[in-house]
């Protein structure tokens, strides 16, 4: 491959990242997925453009240990964001187990199903201070750099982060960093 071909292949990605950087600078509270779609780069690449102090990378091998920790938080907000739907489900995360190629979660919660945990390539603890509020989540990414799902610290009726979950979220930063 010639140097020109190598430049040609990286130029579109660099252009997309530059556009994503500009979008985040103009609108710091933009949804990461929206910026990714509009610039043609992965959601993970956009997340990596956010200030480093606002994200901690966790190895995907820690999936089960992290899930078990999250299952102890009580009712959380689970979010799945695709081009077709933003699905929010509030409930406790059931402790799961591996079987038949999935991490299977079932219990007394509206949240249940089967997660292809082997597709999880990265996990981030994300703490974003937006102009209007602080947002705390744990985000699970697949190999294509797209979000599989997110788990958010819930808010009370006044839209304040629940103190017990926020304390556990802060603990994740130390425990899994």
Is the pTM higher than 0.85?
A: yes
- Tokens 């509270």 identify what position? 29
Number of H helices, E strands in the chain: 5, 9
- What does residue 161 show for φ and ψ, rounded to 5 degrees? -60, 135
**Secondary element (H or E) of residue 41:** none
What pLDDT is recorded for position 11?
56
Contacts of 40 (CB under 8 A, 6+ apart): 12, 16
Interacting residues of 9 by C-beta distance below 8 A, sequence separation 6+: none
Mind listing the pLDDT tens digit of every residue in the chain (177 residues)?
444 444 455 555 689 999 999 999 999 889 999 999 999 999 999 999 999 999 999 999 999 999 999 999 999 999 998 889 999 999 999 999 999 999 999 988 999 999 999 999 999 999 998 888 999 999 999 999 999 999 999 999 999 999 999 999 999 988 877
- Category of 13 on φ-ψ map: left (φ > 0), alpha (ψ -120 to 50) or beta: alpha
């Amino acid at each position: 491959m010639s140097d020109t071909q190598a430049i040609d292949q990286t130029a579109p990605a660099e252009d997309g990242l530059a556009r994503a950087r500009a979008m985040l600078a103009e609108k710091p509270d933009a949804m990461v997925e929206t910026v990714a779609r509009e610039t043609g780069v992965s959601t993970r690449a956009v997340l990596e453009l956010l200030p480093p102090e606002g994200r901690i990378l966790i190895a995907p091998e820690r999936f089960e240990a992290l899930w078990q920790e999250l299952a102890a938080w009580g009712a959380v907000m689970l979010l799945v964001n695709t081009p077709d739907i933003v699905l929010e489900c509030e409930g406790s995360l059931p402790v799961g187990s591996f079987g038949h190629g999935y991490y299977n979660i079932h219990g007394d919660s509206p949240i249940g199903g089967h997660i292809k945990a082997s597709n999880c390539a990265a996990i981030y603890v994300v703490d974003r201070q937006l102009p209007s509020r602080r947002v705390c989540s744990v985000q699970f990414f697949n190999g294509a750099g797209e979000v599989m799902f997110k788990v958010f610290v819930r808010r009370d009726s006044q839209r304040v982060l629940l103190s017990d979950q926020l304390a556990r979220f802060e603990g994740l930063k130390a425990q899994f960093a």
